[in-house]
Amino acid sequence: MKHIQTGPLVEFDDPKRRKMMQAIAEDAPSRLNLFRRVYAGQTSPRQAIKAQCLHCCWMSEEVIRECTATQCPLWGFRPFQKSSRVEAASKGGS
């Protein structure tokens, strides 16, 4: 199991990022490493989209699944969606 640092986040010079990271450490510590990598520029575009959706929906995978913000440029790429094949199979399709 990975150790998650929840102490002071002094590696961020930007006070807004530091405040955001402190809120994540308190509310969703399992997501802290993802946001740390995003802010350091060490993630894939897919991970960055995941972080943005988590931030927008305040860490709720269920809210992301049910997102209705179709005008968001990331809406079609949001994480936690069933693939179209899984949906078709569950509906009796191919």
Tell me if 80 sits within 8 A of 65, measured CB to CB: yes
In which domain, by residue range, is 55 found? 15-90
Residue 35: closest CA among 21, 45, 18: 21
Residue 58 lies in a domain: yes
Q: State the total domains in the chain.
A: 1
Cα 52 to Cα 69: distance, rounded to the nearest angstrom: 13
Q: How does pLDDT run along the chain (94 residues), one tens digit per residue?
A: 444 444 455 567 889 999 999 999 999 999 999 999 999 999 999 999 999 999 999 999 999 999 999 999 999 999 998 875 445 455 555 4
Classify residue 11 by its DSSP letter: T
Q: How far is CA 36 from CA 5, 12, 29, 83, in A?
A: 10, 9, 11, 28
Residue 4 in domain? no
On whether residue 66 sits in a domain, the answer given is: yes
25 within domain boundaries: yes
pTM: 0.74
| In a domain? residue 50 | yes
* Phi then psi dihedrals of residue 90, to 5 deg: -70, -20
In a domain, 5, yes or no: no
